[in-house]
Structure 1
Amino acid sequence: MKTNFYNVNAESFYNDTVGVDLSPLYDIFLPLLTPNGHIIDAGCGSGRDSLYFLQQGFDVSAFDASEELVAKASALTGIDVALNTFEHYKAARLADGIWACASLLHVASGLLPAALTNLAENLKPGGYLYCSFKYGNDDVERGGRYFTNADETRLNLFIKDTRLTVVKTWITGDARPDRQDEKWLNAILIKGN
């Protein structure tokens, strides 16, 4: 995952994303979890989602691979956001849910199975993982950022050798007002026993 883009552009990325309303996604994910349970915000970016989960009474751990965004997310949320990657993150305790909103798509497709395997290791059996990808079946680089796109078939390939299975997938438009034509694959995965 290339983090230099996010270090160099942290201020504009933060400003573009911190106010985006993801209530429709929260409304699907949060009811699956134990009230006041532990959520890991994986690739937390601005910290927007971590802050929302904290405000709903959840215990939140968060990490990002960009030093600048870790600092911004820590300041926004008041928690110590860890500087780490999907492949290497280890939680102090297992989570009821993992939230990976528009973050795993920056992991190279060849590394995604390992990243998802590691995330699953941080999840309780029966725990849920939410993830989202730009809808497609290719890898692209745009403006200094790498994107692994996914459709339902490709997502199943990424999780084939993990302990995760698909509970539900659905397509949404981008929540940012200037990008409504972009389509996203959203998925809820569950960790087996």
Structure 2
Amino acid sequence: MSTDRDTVHSYDAVAAQYAAEAAAMPEWVATEIDAFVAGLGGSGRVLEIGSGGGRDALELEKRGISIRRTDISKGFVELLRDSGFEADLLDPLTDDLADPQRPGTRYDGIWACACLIHVARDDLGTVLRRLAEATRAGGRLHASVREGDGEDVSTHGGAAAPRRYVETYWREPALRSALTDAGWIVSEIRRCVGKPNDWWLSVRASRA
């Protein structure tokens, strides 16, 4: 699997709580949504990896984008379905990425915000290549990962709902190389700050 099982189970256990905590749109993500939608010309069919509580999908739909919501966490998928949205359980490393609503047609874009941090370093190239293969030529990609070195295991929550997340950190040169090797043309990698001392590398790219 592309994602550590304990990480997935942590999200399953706290899906509703996590969605509430992440409901506010960070300024840097709003900026990336603007750029992504502009790159698509204000329309298109997009595969979202790691939909979580659905915050970004709602904003993208407001802008005229058709979204296929997916997540590797069953907890998030059930939360989205309970909220009235179609959502699919999907591991981008191993599962078929084809759009069930448009058989034989590739996506116009991929939205993968703050979720590929949980993909093991050795697997990211494969995930990026599979996403590229599912995207039409010229289609757009937004992806964001934490900036840094190595890997980390972060733990939060309480005894009733402990959380354990395995995260992989990236530097721009290695990330840019992985994207290019996977079939993406990188237009920009921006350094964005979430919380203080929480730096992200935010990718704007198109399918070669």
TM-score under structure 2 normalisation? 0.84
Aligned to 1:155: 175
**Larger Rg: 1 or 2?**
2
Q: Secondary structure at the match of 1:165?
A: strand
**RMSD, aligned α-carbons:** 1.5
Would the aligned equivalents of 1:43 and 1:86 in 2 still touch at CA under 8 Å? no
Structure 1 equivalent of residue 51 of structure 2:
44
Residue 40 (structure 2) aligned to one of 14, 33, 36: 33
Which amino acid is 1:85 matched to?
D
Corresponding residue pairs, total: 187
Partner of 1:15: 20
The answer to whether the 8 Å contact 1:128/1:189 transfers is yes
Moved over 4 A (4+): none
Q: Say which is worse superposed, 121-130 or 22-31, in terms of deviation.
A: 22-31
The within-5 A match list for 1:1-193 is: 1-2=3-4, 3-21=8-26, 22-76=29-83, 78-87=84-93, 88-92=95-99, 93-143=105-155, 144-174=164-194, 179-192=195-208
- Name the CA distance, whole Å, in 2 between partners of 1:94 and 1:173: 32
Structure 2: gaps (5+ residues): 100-104, 156-163
In the alignment, the residues of structure 2 paired with residue 45 and residue 91 of structure 1 have an alpha-carbon distance, to the nearest angstrom, of 20
Q: Once the 2 structures are TM-superposed, how far is the Cα of residue 28 of structure 1 from its aligned partner?
A: 1.6
Secondary structure of the equivalent of 2:122? coil
Distance in 1 (CA, whole Å) between partners of 2:135 and 2:150 is 28
Shift of 1:121: 1.3
